[in-house]
């Protein structure tokens, strides 16, 4: 019986790896781009997002979101979250995918947060980042 399960398990693991990496492509991901933030950007959400950011992101991205936190690696340097340059896409859905799945090495050392944060925490953090940095790009017409 294990002769059947071992290959099936290997295929399943490969599928998970490919699915995780595809959500983090350099230049963005159309599937992730289509995902809309379900959490309204309210003062309460931004405050909750600030708390999530301070606990989980500030060590590398810094107090002012510039990528200059005390534990920030030198190479590759963490992203400046206040500029308009987003290597993996700038929509809320693409930012969510990078936070949830991590960013691919060697371009980044950012680890996935899906085992650490709840989905709502990530959306709140995105609302906080938006309040401090770039606004979402206008949809193409």
Question: Rounded distance, CA 27 to CA 53, Å?
Answer: 24
pLDDT class of 7 with cuts at 50, 70, 90: very low
What letters, b where the CB count within 10 A reaches 16 and e where it falls short, cover 61-89? bbeebbbebeebeeebebbbbeeeebbbb
Please state the φ and ψ torsions of residue 123, each to the nearest 5 degrees: -65, -40
Could you list the residue range(s) of the whole structural domain that residue 69 is in? 43-136
Asked, for residue 8, whether it belongs to a domain, the answer is no
Asked, for residue 60, whether it belongs to a domain, the answer is yes
Report whether pLDDT(58) > 90. yes
Asked, for residue 78, whether it belongs to a domain, the answer is yes
pLDDT one-digit tens code per residue, 32-53 = 999 999 999 999 999 999 999 9
């Amino acid at each position: 019986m294990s002769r059947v399960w071992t290959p099936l398990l290997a295929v399943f693991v490969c599928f998970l790896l490919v699915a995780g990496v595809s959500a983090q492509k350099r230049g963005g991901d159309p599937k992730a781009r289509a995902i809309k933030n379900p959490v309204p950007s309210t003062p309460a959400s931004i405050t909750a997002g600030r708390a999530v950011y301070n606990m989980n992101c500030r060590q590398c991205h810094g107090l002012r979101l510039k990528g200059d936190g005390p534990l920030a690696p030198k190479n590759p340097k963490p992203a400046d979250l206040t500029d308009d340059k987003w290597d993996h896409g700038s929509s809320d859905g693409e930012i969510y995918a990078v936070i949830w799945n991590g960013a691919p090495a060697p371009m980044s050392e950012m680890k996935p947060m899906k085992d650490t944060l709840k989905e709502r925490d990530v959306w709140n953090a995105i609302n906080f980042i938006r309040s401090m940095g770039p606004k979402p790009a206008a949809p193409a017409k």
